[in-house]
Amino acid sequence: MSGGPAYATVYLTVEQAQALLFPGATFQPDTRTLTDEQAKAIAHASGVPVRNKQIKAWRVSTGGWFIVDEVVGKHEFIPFALALDDKGAVKGIEILEYREAYGGQIRDPEWRKQFLDATAGKKLQLDRNIRNISGATLSCKHLTDGVERLLVTYDLVLKKSS
């Protein structure tokens, strides 16, 4: 999908999210392009299709990875940042922009806390180990799927080069 957004509320820039999730660290860009085989393996292991083969990742000076990705919202994409510690566990999630009429509750810190320490083996799934927010189901589902996909991406691709 392409085309410009009609509306956008920018909460954080990439730099602001980096500073928030890894205070005092420096970042080394390490963008990857997945091979077809890697994309298939990630989709198979996560159960989530890989829509974009380019992984916008940064190595963090204090250890860990910072990844920027986006998931499909009701009408627009939802860009978000994922922080992984040096063992590949979720350290934090930040919503960078939100452009939808409904579903913005996924910015709620309490809801996002559920993801902390999750790793590739946990199999994140809405209504199973991630609580849904009524009225924001689609956003909750897609963000959950997006984090699961990136955890598997770390496990199958990024970890090997750490």
Q: Which of 101, 109, 121, 160 binds other proteins (CB under 8 A)?
A: 101
Q: Which of 141, 156, 159, 162 binds other proteins (CB under 8 A)?
A: 141
Task: List the x/- string, 113-132, binding to other proteins by CB under 8 A.
Answer: -------------xx----x
Residue 127 CB, shortest distance to other proteins, in Å, is 5
> CB under 8 Å, gap of 24 or more: what pairs does 121-124 form?
122/151, 123/148, 124/148, 124/151
SS3 assignment, position 134: coil
Coil, strand or helix at 37: helix
> In this structure, what are the phi and psi dihedrals at residue 16, rounded to the nearest 5 degrees?
-65, -40
- Which range touches other proteins (CB under 8 A), out of 32-40, 53-61, 87-95, 139-147? 139-147
- List Cα–Cα distances, 17 to 51, 89, 93, 97, in angstroms: 23, 17, 9, 11
Q: Which residues bind other proteins (CB under 8 A)?
A: 1-7, 49, 51, 71-72, 74-77, 99-102, 126-127, 132, 134-138, 141-142, 145
